[in-house]
Each structure stands twice: as C-alpha cells, then as structure tokens.
Amino acid sequence: MALLPIITAPDPRLKTVADPVAVVDGEIRKLVDDMYDTMYDAPGIGLAAVQVGVMKRVLVMDVIGKNAKEGDPQPHALINPEITWVSDHDSTYEEGCLSVPQHYAEVVRPAEVKVKYLDVDGQEQELEADGLLATCVQHEIDHLDGILFVDHISALKRNMILRKLLKIKKQAS
C-alpha cells in the first residue's frame, strides 16, 4: 500500500470530470487500497481518485473511521457511482475537504440518496444512504464531476477561501 499525494485547491485538476472505469482490474483494486490508506492517514472520511491525480470515477469513504470508538470501520469503495434517487427533503452539514484544508462551510444537500456503482469485484451494487453517509457520498461524487464543496456556498465565501489557499501555495513555493 502507498500513501498518495492529495491535490489541494485551486489546482485545475480538481475541476476535471473523471472518466468512467472501463474494467475493474488489479490496477483499480490497488488504487482503491492506496486511496483507503491515504484517506485514513489524512485523516478523512472520503476521498475521490481525482483528489490524488487519477482522473477515474473511483471513490472511497468510511464515515466511522479506522480508529473510531463509535464502532467498526465501514469502508465503501464505489466505482463509476451514479446517484439514481434523491429525497425531497434536505439536510445541512458542515463540510470540509482534504483538498480544501482547514476550511469548512455549511452545505445543503438531499438528506437521502440511492447510488448504483461497481464494487472492487466489478459487481453492480446499490447503496441507500442517509445522514452523514449521504452527505459524504454526494460530496465525493461531486469531486468526480469537477465540483468542490465550496461551489455550493456563496461566491464571496468561496473566493475568500480560494484566495487564502492560493496565498498558502505561493508562500510554500
């Protein structure tokens, strides 16, 4: 397993729409394993392949976490995920992102979703999610579509966050 470098905004790759995975093979399974290691190490609860520079429709998530006291880890790997249903009612969560470090904002999203996807064996699956899991899967699918959580907040707040991140990047180089 390997830790992968996480891309941070305002990197243009984060605005790229990821390509579908043609076949779930050993390369994709290794990517999933490396993404889990990277997500847990960060630490985070979700990670899309785009965030590690791989433009494929792959994401991993675990809203419980590897070292959580609330229960056993509940890792999910979704390949070519597609939201097939959303609830009429919304929920609001304060979201953060490994690609937008140290910044958080309240985002309104559908409270429940159904997602069809391929698992690491290439088998079609369906996930019904609510609460934090629903928010997380929508957040990660957004990454695969070139959308960041800051795209769901006001332009004023978004621009302020992106300017701060750009300033940090310039100071680091």
Q: What is the pLDDT of residue 26?
A: 97
Q: Which helix (H) or strand (E) segment is 130 a member of?
A: strand 124-130
Write down the catalytic residue from 27, 70, 106, 140.
140
* Mean pLDDT on 104-113: 96
Q: In Å, what is the CA distance from 109 to each residue of 12, 69, 82, 91, 155? A: 24, 27, 16, 6, 18
Q: What is the DSSP letter of 32?
A: H
User: How confident is the model at residue 166, as a pLDDT?
Assistant: 86
- 94 as an active site residue: the answer is no
Local confidence band at 71 (pLDDT 50, 70, 90 cut-offs)? low
Q: What domains sit in the chain, N to C, each tagged with a CATH number?
A: 12-172 (3.90.45.10)
**pLDDT, tens digit, 9 for 90 and up, residues 30-52:** 999 999 999 999 999 999 999 99
- pLDDT the model gives residue 67: 59
Q: How confident is the model at residue 105 (pLDDT cuts 50, 70, 90)?
A: very high
